[in-house]
Amino acid sequence: MSPGPTSTFPPSITILSAQILPTAGGDTMFANQHLAFETLSPTLQQVLSSLRAHHSVLSEGNADSSAVHPVIRTHPETGRRALYVSKYFTTHFEGMSLEESRPLLAYLEAHSVRDEFAYRHRWQPGDVVIWDNRSVQHRAVNDYGDEERVMHHLEVKDELPT
């Protein structure tokens, strides 16, 4: 799943519209990152609150887009704290090597998408889903083989995560 931390100013809101769907599969999973944070031990919450992580992704032009963001971000409207790491974008913690970062990142990545935090959206033609990337990770379930799946995608850029 992806919170979308692919630039200095990641998207706050994403809108996805189903255009062409496979005959079966192609759902999207959404995971609540506030719950992911809140269910960590108080000690781990405290440790993570002081960490920042490097996020990197290849853009459509194959240019690397990198940024450093807090591992725990605070929603600017609600004040609620959320886990802000993703196996698709987070490479390592600031001040740590990849090898040092990997075990804790692996744990957080698995924890952040646990079933009890997740909702699975089964797309129907014409569906439009809007979500808050400051609170939710998402990922497409790639279970539809070579069938076509076309989604229109729009993002509203965010302020710097805090």
Can you give the pLDDT of all 162 residues of the chain as single tens digits?
444 444 567 888 999 999 999 999 999 999 999 999 999 999 999 999 999 999 886 555 545 578 899 999 999 999 999 999 998 889 999 999 999 999 999 999 999 999 999 999 999 999 999 999 999 999 999 999 999 999 999 999 877 777
Enclosing H/E stretch for 76 = none
What separation, in Å, do the N-terminal and C-terminal C-alpha atoms of the chain show? 21
**What domains sit in the chain, N to C, each tagged with a CATH number?**
11-157 (3.60.130.10)
C-alpha 113/C-alpha 125 separation (Å) is 26
pTM of the model: 0.86
Cβ 57 vs Cβ 6: under 8 Å: yes
Category of 155 on φ-ψ map: left (φ > 0), alpha (ψ -120 to 50) or beta: beta
